[in-house]
Amino acid sequence: MQDISRNAGNWGYDISRSYRNAGYTSVKKLAGIQKKNLGFIKKVYAKAAEAKETDKNLFLPVHFEWLCDNYYIIEREIKNILKSFSYAPRLPAVRGVNLNLNGKVNLNGSRGSSQVRIYAVLNGLVGNCGGEITPRIIEDYIEAVQNSPGSSNYLTVGELSLARIMLAASLCSAIADICGELLEYLNYLSGNKNRNNLYLPDSLAHSLGFCIRNLRFCSVYRFETLFEKCSGADKIFNGDPAGIYKNMDKATKNYYRRRLSEIAAENNWDEIETAEKIYGKALGAAARGAHEKQTHIGYYLLKKRTPKKSYFAITLALLAVFVFLASRLAGAAFIFLILPLWELAKQITDFAFARFIETMPLPKLDLKNIPGDKKTLVCITTLLFGEGKDDGLFIRLENYYNANKDKNINFAILGDFKDNQNRETENDGKITEYAAKKIEDLNKKYNNSFSLFIRNRVYSKSEKKYMGWERKRGALVELVRFIKNSPDTTFKTVLGDIDFIRDVKYIVTLDADTNLGIDSVKEMLAAMLHPNASPVFDEEKKIVTDGYGIMQPRMGTELSASSKTPFTRMLCGSGGIDIYSSAAFDLYQEIYGEGNFCGKGIFDADIFYRALDSAYPEETVLSHDLLEGTRLRCALISDLELTDGIPKNPASYFDRLHRWIRGDMQALGFIGRRIKNSDGEIIKNPVSGLSKYKIFDNVRRAALPVFSVLAMIFALLLYYINPDAGLALNAGLLAVLYIIFPMFAGIISIFMISSFRNISKRFSSKVMTSIWRNIFGALFDLSSLAYRAFVSFDAISRSLFRMFITKRKMLSWVTASEGEAQL
C-alpha cells in the first residue's frame, strides 16, 4: 500500500502530461454508458441468481458472491450518478486519453474522441491503482495532476465538485467490464455439463472486491478535503485577509467556489487568475485599514448585479398595459380595477424574476460552539394565564433547550399578564408563582439555563385599561433595556442567571407556537456572525445602512397544526419542514438584499437598543415587526426553516387577518418625509424608499378585496344602465385574475422544480398535495371574496377612524390562542 501511495503522484503526473484540452463537452455520453452499465450488471446478477435457484447444488465462484452480496450498492451508486449527471453542466474535455469501459487508460497520447476531463483523470486512477483507494492516494494523485510542471490544465471548481460522482462512475464501468467475463462464465456453464474445465481467475475476484470497496470509499471519504488540499483557488482563499474563509461552513464554501466559477466565466478569466484578483482586492482593503467585511474575499465574490430598477419598470409597464386593456374591456369599471391589476402585474413579474434569479443563501460560519462573547438569549414572548394553560410554554422551552444545547445559550419566557381594568388582580400572584416554579424546576434539571421575565401592567390611555407597556414591542424594548442595564423597565419578576443576561449579545425572539429545530440557534448565529452580515450603523439616522441587525428564517407550518382540521389541510397541505427543499426564493432579499421581518428571528441587542429604543411614539404602533426590519435592515435566512401554528378555522383566520390589516394601516403613519419619535419631536424619516414601499404595499394588498368587489358592483350598475353582458363579465374576470393566476403559477412551479425521476417517491406526498392546495386555496379565496372585502374594509375604516379621530384602541390586540378560544 505504501508503494501504491508513493506511485500515486507519478500516475497523476503522467496523466496530466498525456492529455490536451478539447474545449467543453456534456456528460450525456457518460450518462448513456452508465445506463448500459446498470442494465448489463443487473442482467448478470439476475442470471447468477437464476442459475443458483435452478440448481441448488451449484457452486458459483466467490466472484458471484461479491456481485450478489453488493449489487444493491452498485445499483444505488449508478442511480445516484445518473441523477447527478442530470444537473451537471458542460465540463472541460480532453483528447489524448483512450478511455474504455474496463477502467484502463492508454497513456500513449494517441488521438481519440474527446472525453470529460475529470472522468478521464479519475479513470486513470482506477486503471492504475488495482487496489483499495485511500485518502492519501486520491489526494496525492489529484495534487500531482494539479501541479504538474508546465501544465495549466488544473481541474476547475466544477470538476472537483464532481470528483466523487466521476470516481464512482469509473468504478461502475470497471465492474461492468468484469461482469462481461462473469457472463461468459455463466453462458458457458449453462451450455456445458462438464464443469471441471470452467475457471475464473482469482485476480478477477480481487479486482471486483477492490472496486466494491472503493465504491464504499466514495460514500465515506470527505471529498471536501480534496478541495481543501488540491484546489488552487482554495489555497488562495485560505489566505483570506479577514481569516474567515477557513472558518465557514461547507455550504458557504461551496457557494463561494461556484461564484468564483461564475465570475471567471463572465470575464473570460481562468479560476486561479480570478481568485488572485479577488484576493488582491481584499488584501488592498486590509492595507487601507478598511472595515472587516471589506477585507474578506466574500465581500467581492458575492457582489452581484441585480435588476433593481427593471423590476419596478416591468411591473409598471405591465400595469399600464392591463389598465389600458381594462378600460376597453370593462368600461368605466376599470377605475376600481387598478389595484387588482397592479397585483396581477406584480405577480407576473415576481413569477418571472423567481425563474431567472438564483437564490443566494446567506454565508455562514462553521459554528461548532457559541463563543463566550456572543451569548444568546432565546425568548418566547407571550401572555401568561397560569397553571393548566401555560404548561405547553414550558414544555416548548424545554424542547428548545434539548434541540439547541450550548453553555452560551439561555432560554427565557418574556411574559405579560392579560389586560385588565386594575393594575393587579388576585390571580397575578398565582400565575407568577406557577411560572417561577416551572423555571426553577428546569434550572435544577438543566444547570441554570432558563430565565423568566414578567412585567407589571401600566395604564394605557388609548386602551383605557392596564396592560403590558406597548405589548410585544414594548416587551422586547424593555428586555433589551434590562440587558443594557437601563433602569427604565416595568419588570415585576426576573429569575435566572442575571450575570449571563447582562452579557447577552443576541436575542432570538419567538412566538408561543413557534417550533425551534435542532441547532437552529447556531445556524441563525452562524449567519449573523459572518462579516458580510456585520451591521453598519448610522448614528445620525439611527438605522442600519449596510449588513444586517436582524435576521428572519423562513416560516413553515407545524406538522401537527397542518392536519388539525380540513381548513388547515387546505391552507398548508402536508405541513412540516420539506427536507427536499434548500433555499427558498424571496424577491426583496434576492433583488434588493434585504427581506421582511415577520416577528420570529434573531437580532443584535446592541443595534436594537441604539436604533429602536426611542424610535416610535407610544401607543401608535400595533404591528411592529415590519417597522423594526426597516430600521435594523433584515435578512432572510432562506435555507433555514422554523415552523409555527395556523388558524384552525375560517373564523379565526379572518379574525387574525383583521388584526394584521389594522396593524399595517397604523404603520402607514411612518412612511412620510417627516415623522415623530418617542419624545414627540418631528424628525426626518430615516428609512429608505424601499422600506416605505414595503409598508405601503402591505396596505395595498389589504385593500385588494374591497376594490375587486367594488369593480363587480360598479359593473353591474353599468349593466343596469346600459345592458352589455360583455362589460360586466370582463370586469368580474379582471377583478379576480390576481386570485386565479397564483394557482396556475404555483402548479407550473411545482412541475418545474419536482424531480420526476423520483416520481414514485414524491408525487403523491408532495406534488399532488401541493397541486390540490393551490386549487382549493384559489377556490376558497374566490368563494370568500365578499367576506374578505368586508373584513378588509372594516379593518381599514376602523384604523383610519382611530388614527385620525379618536386616538383610542390603537393597541387593540389579542393573541392567536386567545382569538381561537373566543370563537
C-alpha cell at 103: 477502467
Report CA-CA distances (Å) from 192 to 64, 264, 596, 632: 19, 62, 76, 82
pLDDT digits (tens, 9 = 90+) for 677-700: 988 899 999 999 999 999 999 999
Is residue 618 within 8 Å of 345, Cβ to Cβ?
Answer: no
If one counts every other C-beta atom within 10 angstroms of the C-beta of residue 574, the result is 15
Is residue 639 within 8 Å of 552, Cβ to Cβ?
Answer: no
Please tell me the distance from the alpha carbon of residue 780 to that of residue 311, in angstroms, as a whole number.
30
What DSSP line would sit under 313-375, residue for residue? HHHHHHHHHHHHHHHHHSGGGGGGGHHHHHHHHHHHHHHHHHHHSPP-PPP-B--SS--GGG-
Q: To 10 degrees, what angle do helices 117-129 and 2-18 make?
A: 140
Residue with cell 360583455: 726
| pLDDT-based confidence at residue 822 (cuts at 50, 70, 90) | low
pLDDT of residue 152 exceeding 70, the answer is no
Please tell me the distance from the alpha carbon of residue 524 to that of residue 365, in angstroms, as a whole number.
10
The pLDDT score that the predictor gives to residue 444 is 96
The pLDDT score that the predictor gives to residue 758 is 44
Q: How far is CA 174 from the centre of its chain?
A: 39
Q: To 10 degrees, what angle do helices 202-220 and 62-87 make?
A: 40
- Global confidence as pTM: 0.88
The pLDDT score that the predictor gives to residue 423 is 95
Report CA-CA distances (Å) from 592 to 296, 585, 643: 21, 13, 26
The pLDDT score that the predictor gives to residue 463 is 92
Is residue 645 within 8 Å of 558, Cβ to Cβ?
Answer: yes
pLDDT digits (tens, 9 = 90+) for 223-273: 998 888 888 899 999 999 999 999 999 999 999 999 999 999 889 898 999
Residue with cell 427558498: 584
Element (H, E) at 799: helix 785-801
Question: Span 607-629, mean pLDDT?
Answer: 94
Report CA-CA distances (Å) from 406 to 378, 480, 522, 601: 12, 21, 9, 18
* Local structure of residue 670 (DSSP, 8 states): G
Question: Span 178-196, mean pLDDT?
Answer: 78
pLDDT of residue 573 exceeding 60, the answer is no
The pLDDT score that the predictor gives to residue 769 is 65
Is residue 549 within 8 Å of 632, Cβ to Cβ?
Answer: yes
**Proportion of the chain above pLDDT 70, given as a percent:** 89
Q: Which amino acid is at 203?
A: S
Please tell me the distance from the alpha carbon of residue 419 to that of residue 809, in angstroms, as a whole number.
13
The pLDDT score that the predictor gives to residue 756 is 47
Which of 645, 481, 494 has the alpha carbon at shortest distance from 563?
Answer: 645
Please tell me the distance from the alpha carbon of residue 490 to that of residue 320, in angstroms, as a whole number.
53
> Coil, strand or helix: which one is 757?
helix
Q: How far is CA 479 from the centre of its chain?
A: 29
The pLDDT score that the predictor gives to residue 762 is 47
C-alpha cell at 681: 419631536
Please tell me the distance from the alpha carbon of residue 77 to that of residue 217, in angstroms, as a whole number.
12
Is residue 217 within 8 Å of 133, Cβ to Cβ?
Answer: yes
Q: Indicate the burial class of 685 (C-beta count within 10 angstroms; 0-12, 13-18, 19 or more).
A: middle
The pLDDT score that the predictor gives to residue 768 is 56
Strand partners, 376: 409, 506
The pLDDT score that the predictor gives to residue 629 is 95
pLDDT of residue 759 exceeding 50, the answer is no
pLDDT digits (tens, 9 = 90+) for 343-389: 999 999 999 998 888 888 899 999 999 999 999 999 999 999 999 99
If one counts every other C-beta atom within 10 angstroms of the C-beta of residue 736, the result is 19
C-alpha cell at 820: 381561537
| pLDDT-based confidence at residue 765 (cuts at 50, 70, 90) | very low
Least confidently predicted of 521-535, 724-738, 746-760: 746-760
* Local structure of residue 584 (DSSP, 8 states): P
pLDDT of residue 711 exceeding 90, the answer is yes
pLDDT digits (tens, 9 = 90+) for 191-203: 665 555 667 888 8
C-alpha cell at 285: 482593503
pLDDT of residue 99 exceeding 50, the answer is no
Question: Span 635-658, mean pLDDT?
Answer: 90
pLDDT of residue 576 exceeding 50, the answer is no
Strands 601-604 and 506-510: antiparallel
* Local structure of residue 222 (DSSP, 8 states): -
pLDDT digits (tens, 9 = 90+) for 17-44: 667 777 888 899 999 999 999 999 999 9
CB under 8 Å to 255, separation ≥6 — which residues? 360, 361, 363
> Coil, strand or helix: which one is 641?
strand
pLDDT digits (tens, 9 = 90+) for 493-515: 999 999 999 999 999 999 998 99
Degrees to nearest 5, angle at CA 617 with 611 and 622 = 90
pLDDT of residue 561 exceeding 80, the answer is no
Degrees to nearest 5, angle at CA 761 with 757 and 767 = 85
Q: How far is CA 353 from the centre of its chain?
A: 17
Residue with cell 455520453: 29
If one counts every other C-beta atom within 10 angstroms of the C-beta of residue 521, the result is 26
| pLDDT-based confidence at residue 419 (cuts at 50, 70, 90) | very high
User: 89 vs 509, which has greater pLDDT?
Assistant: 509
| pLDDT-based confidence at residue 582 (cuts at 50, 70, 90) | very low
pLDDT digits (tens, 9 = 90+) for 778-803: 899 999 999 999 999 999 999 999 99
pLDDT digits (tens, 9 = 90+) for 380-394: 999 999 999 999 999
pLDDT of residue 176 exceeding 70, the answer is yes
Please tell me the distance from the alpha carbon of residue 670 to that of residue 654, in angstroms, as a whole number.
26
> Coil, strand or helix: which one is 724?
coil
Mean pLDDT (the chain) is 87
Is residue 333 within 8 Å of 731, Cβ to Cβ?
Answer: yes
C-alpha cell at 680: 414627540
Q: Which amino acid is at 76?
A: R
C-alpha cell at 337: 380595477
Q: How far is CA 584 from the centre of its chain?
A: 5
> Coil, strand or helix: which one is 215?
helix
The pLDDT score that the predictor gives to residue 174 is 94
537 — phi, psi (to 5°)? -100, 130
